[in-house]
Amino acid sequence: MAQPLSSSEAETRQWALFLHLSLLAGVLVPGAGFILPIVLWQIKKDELPGIDAHGKVVVNWLLSALLYGVISGMLVFVLIGFPLLGVLGLLSVIFPIIGAVKANDGVLWPYPLSIRFFT
């Protein structure tokens, strides 16, 4: 039988879940998917030390997706960019959901294809 979580661990898991799902805020408010995760990370990383690692994973994906988007945008001129942008859009929805589920389980899940800008 699993032991009950401490209140600090439960709060860390909850905020980590919010942090990953905040990447999807851009669906409702343009630009919020870039700003909200960074703000949440900066506000909670000192209060809940476990959030720092999740914040780095999320920001690494943000920067990676931005870079992949710019490259795919340039490749639109040779037509390969269209499917690449579609795949990037799909991964930008799937990865935060998986990351949120894993965070809720207490697991730090580094997003595949993410460049490690912050370690």
Average pLDDT over residues 67-78: 96
Nearest by Cα to 65 from 28, 43, 90, 45:
90
Please give the structure tokens belonging to residue 105: 């389980």
Look at residue 46 in the predicted model and tell me its pLDDT. 94
Burial class (CB within 10 angstroms; exposed 0-12, middle 13-18, buried 19+) of 40: buried
Segment 67-83 mean pLDDT: 96
| Model pTM above 0.75 | yes
Residue 1 pLDDT:
57
* Amino acid 5: pLDDT: 75
**d(C-alpha 4, C-alpha 11), whole Å:** 13
Copy the structure tokens of residue 70: 């710019």
Count CA atoms closer than 13 A to 34's CA, side-chain side: 6
